[in-house]
């Protein structure tokens, strides 16, 4: 049974089902069912779903494996950058989703790791086991997944608290007037186009820092730093500035120089959930983006 200590005052006096649902990105009713079944305990005692956390509470998770796994092992072109007993870091190519979604994809990062014999955390299983964060299907780059339930909670907590350092390289249409800036604008689901997101009052807080690295012919190469992790955040914020990513057919337009939106997660830094050591990982730019940069656009 994996256990974590509640050592952050932010979670004190808040309902355990709400806190765990938010951090682990698991539906609240599933957390409540785990609590009801005794799979989640506090200080080695069973609790109710409305239990309010106290400082130094020891929360234990003993989530059972699903009887029927809905993911089949599938070979895919992913590279394992680092692996230990707690986590695995992979370099994801564009065109591959992290886990099955509404489209019920057969080949995903999860199915590829299963093919390679990597056993992930049960949290979020069967379709999202081990997933503590995601990057879009057509975004390439670095991704970390949890192998133990304790690591899953502690990594997810870092993403939830926005203490993870994430940087991306993108190529945007046109030239940004300000070479360095911050977009601090709330993001919500589009009121009409339900598969899209937009900057909208009342949405979730979203903050992106950007810096132009190089100007090309009719486009800029930009480095982005995420302070929050909203769905499509960089893509939406760049559309908001009227400089969508090159090749972004959803928030911009189709490109004849790249077959997907030009965005790559090149840097990830976090605290290891067991050792407490800071870990940093880099991923080189993929060939389709390098080709644009080398050609000058």
**CA-based nearest residue to 63, from 125, 114, 132:** 125
DSSP state of 9: G
pLDDT digits (tens, 9 = 90+) for 191-247: 999 889 999 999 999 999 999 999 999 999 999 999 998 999 999 999 999 999 999
Amino acid 105: pLDDT? 77
Q: Architecture of domain 2-61 in CATH?
A: Roll (3.10)
Look at 236 and 61; give whichever has higher pLDDT.
236
Choose among 167, 156, 142, 277: nearest CA to 227: 167
Give the per-residue pLDDT at 63: 75
Domain ranges for the chain, please list them.
Answer: 2-61, 66-160, 165-265+290-295
Mind giving me the DSSP string for 207-271?
EEEEEEEEEETTEEEEEEEESS--TTHHHHHHHHTT-PBTT-TTTS---SS-SS--EEEEEEEEE
Homologous superfamily assigned to 66-160 = Pseudouridine synthase (3.30.2350.10)
Give the pLDDT band of residue 126 (cuts 50, 70, 90).
low
- List the single range of 37-46, 84-93, 276-285 with lowest mean pLDDT: 37-46
Going by pLDDT thresholds of 50, 70 and 90, the confidence category of residue 12 is very high
Burial class (CB in 10 A: 0-12, 13-18, 19+), 48: exposed
121: nearest Cα among 88, 90, 152, 98: 152
d(CA 221, CA 66): 44
Establish whether domains 66-160 and 165-265+290-295 are of one fold: yes
Instruction: Output the CATH code of domain 165-265+290-295.
Output: 3.30.2350.10
Return the exposure string of 55-74: e unless at least 16 CB atoms fall within 10 Å of the residue's CB, then b.
eebebbbebeeeeeeebeee
Q: Which residues are catalytic?
A: 136
Contacts of 290-297 spanning 24+ positions with Cβ under 8 A? 291/257, 292/171, 292/216, 292/219, 292/246, 292/257, 292/258, 292/262, 293/171, 293/214, 293/216, 293/221, 296/216, 296/217, 297/216, 297/217, 297/218, 297/219, 297/257
For position 67, what pLDDT does the model report?
A: 46
pTM value?
A: 0.87
Helix 16-24 to helix 149-160 angle, to the nearest 10 degrees?
90
Distance CA 255, CA 81 (A): 31
Q: How far is CA 196 from the centre of its chain?
A: 17
**Predicted local confidence at residue 35, as pLDDT:** 92
Task: Please compute the mean of the pLDDT values over residues 249-256 and round it to a whole number.
Answer: 95
Q: What six digits make up the tokens of 286?
A: 């993929």
Per-residue model confidence (pLDDT) at position 53: 94
Mean per-residue pLDDT for 139-156? 94
Q: Best-predicted range by mean pLDDT among 55-64, 85-94, 125-134, 152-161?
A: 85-94
The answer, yes or no, to whether residue 71 has pLDDT greater than 50, is: yes
| SS3 annotation, 17-77 | HHHHHHHHCCCHHHHHHHHHCCCEEECCEECCCCCECCCCCEEEECCCCCCCCCCCCCCCC
């Amino acid at each position: 049974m994996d256990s974590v200590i509640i050592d952050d005052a932010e979670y004190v006096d808040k309902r355990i089902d709400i806190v765990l649902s938010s951090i682990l990105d698991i539906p609240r009713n599933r957390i409540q069912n785990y609590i009801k079944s005794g799979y989640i305990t506090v200080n080695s005692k069973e609790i109710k779903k409305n239990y309010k956390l106290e400082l130094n509470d020891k929360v234990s998770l003993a989530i059972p494996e699903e009887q029927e796994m809905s993911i089949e092992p599938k070979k895919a072109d992913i590279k394992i950058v680092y692996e230990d007993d707690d986590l695995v870091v992979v370099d994801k190519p564009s065109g591959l989703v992290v886990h099955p979604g509404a489209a019920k994809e057969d080949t995903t990062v999860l199915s590829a790791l299963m093919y390679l014999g990597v056993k992930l955390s049960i949290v979020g299983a069967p379709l999202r086991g081990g997933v503590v964060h995601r990057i879009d299907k057509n975004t390439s780059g670095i991704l970390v997944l949890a192998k133990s339930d304790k690591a899953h909670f502690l990594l997810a907590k870092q993403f939830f608290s926005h203490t993870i350092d994430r940087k991306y390289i993108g190529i945007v249409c046109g030239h940004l007037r300000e070479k360095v800036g911050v977009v601090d604008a709330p993001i919500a689901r589009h009121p009409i186009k339900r598969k899209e997101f937009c900057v909208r009052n009342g949405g979730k807080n979203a903050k992106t820092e950007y810096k132009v690295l190089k100007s090309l012919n009719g486009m800029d190469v930009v480095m982005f730093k995420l302070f929050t992790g909203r769905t499509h955040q960089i893509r939406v914020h760049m559309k908001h500035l009227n400089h969508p990513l090159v090749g972004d057919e959803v928030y911009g337009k189709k490109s004849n120089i790249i077959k997907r939106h030009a965005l790559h997660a090149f840097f990830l830094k976090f605290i290891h959930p067991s050792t407490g050591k800071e870990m940093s990982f880099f991923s080189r730019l993929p060939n389709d983006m390098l080709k644009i940069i080398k050609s000058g656009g």
